[in-house]
């Protein structure tokens, strides 16, 4: 199977897992469950699950064991999008080409749907049958996901992002926000794949961290480039929405050329980190390409 | 030490644990961390931690092992209060006698502070040193907390509570909402104490569930009675705030006498469940009394 075919297969797997774990839309409270399904199953690039599967594949982990961590991480990502879109935050009407959850339902339901997606994510890690024989891995998966999403990770990054609105940041400040807001959960995706492989060495963990920290930043800069280019069809957001929200972005501060060059350099760094590893690590190489070049 | 002294000692323990695990207020992002501390350390009855400690005490668990589950559950409770108070939900200005988090800070920070309290809670369960030797217990603690807080628990109960505003409910419907919104996390508190005791039998789990399901409902009805009586100093909320929000409450639907009788009956049921157990279960008996009679 070609790389694109494998990506499609992984995306199919995580969507099937999410569908299986999300409560049915006709189970009460229906409106809440509808909103949870709407927020999670409405498309998306599924970058984080791809990273879980690609890392697990490189380390010889059976696919079935990776379904739960992939779904859990994607739920946390979807949770953060629902809250980021709220009127009190970015106040966005459109996400993935459809009305945002608070627009499609109402604000209270959007807050609560996302609130319920967090425990669902942690609950999946603690109860998925494929993981139950590995309690040490389960504990590490929970710890890694928790750390990535807390006030020193994704949520802290969003707070800093909001606090920075309208203020002029330099490249280092922007990269710091990116690393928290997006980078930490991307890193958790790769580490989670590694947690599922018994006997992953400390050296391998360090190498994977260097890989994803470079790749994660490249991905975020690329995402901002797409936003500036106004590719609503690709990103599903209104083109230029970052600009409209006075968000400090890499291209806005350093210009498009520098941004493009930085993304390319970071992609090279990520690829270099895994270039001397065996053919089984091919999965990490094509995933890096796939993620950064997806619409470049 | 008398019962009240033991309750105070348990409350002191959980507050010390929360203080230790919450990021310092001067650690960036400062505003977020201040809001997390404000929302968690600002008083509160600490009923859920008491239940964790009392159950653990009855089953011979060392106190230190109960600190993490107590703090994790209290964080999830505090998280839910911050979001329930938001303008899009109950729109409350006062909580525990102080401005609600979105009033003391701002709406975005309140949403995010609570969002960061969830992963902190799960992270504590996965990383507390006293629990690390017991990975099976850690996994069960995570699963129990997750189930209690999701769409079939606390969050689902809040959604149903909002949906019921202004509608006339019967006693069974109100009790159903109570059981989800409050009861599930109270049950998780008792079960978490039991998870920390190796070898808790299925029979004991069932008995503890019957105990807390009756006690939890008694507690909630008592809470509504206090609200109607307008005891702002006791509850820290504006007296009659449930009525102002057109909340369906037990006393509003069935009258104060019936509500008082039902709370007393449920307390008796809870006490009966553990009455034939040995003297070490005294902790569950005085906790039941303490919780329901606290201001009755």
Location of structure tokens 């891995």 = A137
Q: Please check whether residue B199 lies inside any domain of the structure.
A: yes
Q: What pLDDT, on the 0 to 100 scale, is given for residue B252?
A: 85
Give me the pLDDT at residue A238, please.
54
Put simply, the answer to whether A123 touches B138 (Cβ < 8 Å) is: no
- Most B CBs within 10 A among A23, A71, A84, A108, hence the mutation to make, goes to A108
CB B128 within 8 A of CB B68: yes
Alpha-carbon distance B157 to nearest alpha carbon in chain A (angstroms): 8
Residue B296 placed within a domain: no
What token pair was written down for B177?
Answer: 């909402």
- Residue A50 CA to residue A267 CA, distance in Å, equals 16
> Cβ–Cβ of A143/B136 closer than 8 Å?
no
- Substitution target in B150, B160, B176 with the highest count of A β-carbons within 10 Å is B150
Angle of CA points B45, B47, B48, to nearest 5°: 135
- Number of domains chain A is built from: 1
pLDDT of B179 > 60? The answer is yes
Q: Which residues of A touch B164 (CB under 8 A)?
A: none
Q: Which of the pair, A227 or A262, is modelled with greater confidence?
A: A262
C-alpha–C-alpha distance, residues B13 and B18, integer Å: 9
Helices (H), A85-201: 101-104, 107-127, 135-149, 154-163, 171-178, 184-195
Is B151's CB within 8 Å of A122's CB? no
- Per-residue DSSP letter, B24: P
Is the pLDDT score of B177 beyond 70?
A: yes
Judge whether residue B104 has pLDDT over 50: yes
Asked if B236 contacts B94 with a C-beta cutoff of 8 angstroms, the reply is yes
Residue of B nearest to A131 (CA): B139
Chain-chain contact of B31 with A88 (C-beta, under 8 angstroms)? no
Inform me whether the pLDDT recorded for B182 exceeds 60. yes
For an interface test with B, which of A119, A132, A149 has the most B Cβ atoms less than 10 Å from its Cβ? A119
CB A79 within 8 A of CB A117: yes
Q: Whose CA is closest to A172, among A112, A292, A254? A: A254
Do B111 and A88 lie within an 8 Å CB cutoff?
Answer: yes
The two tokens of residue B248 are 């369906």
**Cβ of A159 and B120 within 8 Å?**
no
Mean pLDDT across chain A: 92
pLDDT at A132 > cutoff 50: yes
Q: Does pLDDT of A233 surpass 70?
A: no
Phi, psi of A99 (to 5 degrees): -55, 140
**pLDDT higher at A24 or B252:** A24
pLDDT of residue B14: 98
pLDDT of residue B240: 58
Question: Given an 8 Å threshold on Cβ–Cβ distance, is B146 in contact with A83?
Answer: no
Mean pLDDT, to the nearest integer, of A223-243? 66
The Cα angle at residue B12 between residues B9 and B18, in degrees rounded to 5: 145
- What are the pLDDT digits (tens) for B10-51? 999 999 999 999 999 999 999 999 999 999 997 889 999 999
- On the question of pLDDT at A180 being above 70, the answer is yes
Tokens of B65: 């092992």
pLDDT of residue B126: 98
Q: Which residues of B touch A185 (CB under 8 A)?
A: none
Pick from A127, A150, A159: which is nearest to B123 by CB? Answer: A150
Contact A122 B127 (CB under 8 A): no
User: Chain A residues with CB inside 8 Å of B139's CB?
Assistant: 126, 132, 135, 138-139
Query: Which neighbouring-strand residues pair with B94?
Result: B99
**Could you write out the three-class secondary structure of B191-251?**
HHHHHCCCCCCHHHHHHHHHHHHHHHHHHHHHHHHHHHCCCHHHHCCCCCHHHHCCCCCHH
- Least Cα separation, residue A52 to chain B (angstroms): 20
More confident residue, A242 or A60: A60
Q: How far apart are CA B4 and CA B227, in angstroms?
A: 24
Q: Which residue of B has its CA nearest to A121?
A: B146
Q: Which residues does chain B have within 8 Å of residue A30's beta carbon, measured at their own beta carbons?
A: none
**B119 and A86 in contact by Cβ < 8 A?**
no
* pLDDT at residue A105 greater than cutoff 70: yes
**Of A259 and A229, more confident:** A259
Mean pLDDT, to the nearest integer, of A255-267? 94
Indicate the range of A63-67, B110-114, B167-171, B228-232 predicted with least confidence.
B228-232
Residue B2 pLDDT > 80: no
pLDDT single digits (tens) B190-228: 999 999 999 999 999 999 999 999 999 999 999 889 888
Instruction: Calculate the alpha carbon distances from A261 to A116, A258, A293, B50 in Å.
Output: 40, 5, 13, 57
Of the pLDDT bands very low, low, confident and very high (cuts 50, 70, 90), residue A236 is low
B245 vs B146, which has greater pLDDT? Answer: B146
pLDDT tens sequence across A274-287: 999 999 999 999 99
For B247-263, the pLDDT digits (tens) are 778 888 889 999 999 99
pLDDT higher than 90, residue B233: no
Minimal CA separation from A209 to chain B, in Å: 20
Question: For A24, which DSSP code?
Answer: P
Of A36, A151, A156, the CB nearest to B151: A36
| pLDDT, tens digit (0-9, with 9 covering 90-100), for B58-98 | 999 999 999 999 999 999 999 999 999 999 999 999 998 89
Q: Which of A80, A89, A156 sits opposite B108 (nearest CB)?
A: A89
> Residues A186-209: pLDDT tens digits?
999 999 999 999 999 999 999 999
Q: What is the pLDDT at residue A232? A: 47
Of A242-256, A261-275, B205-219, which range is least confident? A242-256
Predicted pLDDT at A1: 61
Q: Do A152 and B115 touch (CB under 8 A)?
A: no
Tell me which residue in A89, A119, A146 faces B150 most closely, judged by beta carbons.
A119
Q: Is A242 left (phi over 0), alpha (psi -120 to 50) or beta?
A: alpha
What is the arithmetic mean of pLDDT over B166-189? 93
Per-residue pLDDT at B267: 96
Distances (CA, A) of B25 to A151, B22, B75, B85, B112: 12, 9, 17, 22, 15
pLDDT of residue A4: 80
Longest CA–CA span in chain B (Å) reads 52
Please report the pLDDT score of residue A296 as a whole number. Answer: 40
In this predicted structure, what is the pLDDT of residue A42? 77
Report the DSSP beta bridge partners of residue A94. Answer: A99
**Residue A141 is part of a domain; what is its CATH number?**
1.10.600.10
Residue B125 and residue A138: Cβ atoms within 8 Å? Answer: no
DSSP lists the bridge partners of residue B95 as: B98
Interchain CB contacts (distance < 8 Å): A and B:
166
For residue A189, give Cα distances in angstroms to A17, A66, A68, A166, B191. 16, 10, 12, 31, 31
pLDDT at A133 over 60: yes
Whether the CB-CB separation of A201 and A60 falls below 8 Å is answered with: no
pLDDT at B68: 98
Contacts of A192 in chain B (CB under 8 A): none
Q: Which residue of B has its CA nearest to A83?
A: B111
Residue B203 included in any domain: yes
Range of the domain at B111: 3-289
- Whether B242 shows a pLDDT value over 80: the answer reads no
User: CB–CB of A159 and B109 under 8 A?
Assistant: yes
């Amino acid at each position: 199977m070609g790389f694109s075919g494998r990506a499609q297969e992984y995306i199919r797997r995580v969507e099937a897992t999410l569908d299986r774990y999300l409560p049915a839309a006709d189970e009460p409270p229906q409106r809440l469950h509808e909103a949870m399904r709407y927020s999670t199953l409405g498309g998306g690039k599924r970058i984080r699950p791809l990273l879980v599967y690609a890392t697990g594949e490189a380390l010889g982990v059976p696919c079935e064991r990776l379904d739960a961590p992939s779904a859990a991480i994607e739920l946390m990502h979807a949770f953060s999008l629902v809250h980021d879109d709220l009127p009190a935050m970015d106040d966005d009407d459109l996400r993935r080409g459809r009305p945002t959850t608070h627009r499609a339902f109402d604000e209270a339901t959007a807050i609560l749907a996302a609130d319920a997606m967090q425990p669902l994510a942690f609950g999946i890690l603690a109860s998925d049958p494929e993981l139950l024989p590995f309690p040490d891995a389960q504990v590490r998966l929970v710890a890694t996901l928790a750390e990535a999403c807390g006030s020193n990770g994704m949520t802290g990054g969003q707070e800093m992002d909001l606090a920075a609105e309208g203020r002029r940041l330099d490249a280092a400040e922007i990269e710091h926000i990116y690393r928290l807001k997006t980078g930490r959960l991307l890193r958790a995706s790769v580490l989670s794949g590694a947690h599922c492989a018994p006997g992953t060495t400390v050296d391998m963990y360090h190498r994977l961290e260097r890989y994803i920290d470079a790749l994660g930043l490249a991905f975020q800069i690329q995402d901002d480039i797409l936003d500036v280019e106004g590719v609503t069809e690709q990103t599903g957001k209104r083109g230029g929405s970052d600009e409209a929200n006075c968000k400090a972005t890499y291209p806005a501060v350093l210009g498009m050329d520098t941004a493009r060059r930085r993304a390319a350099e970071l992609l090279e760094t990520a690829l270099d980190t895994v270039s001397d590893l065996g053919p089984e690590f091919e999965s990490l190489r094509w995933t890096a390409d796939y993620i950064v070049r997806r619409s470049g």
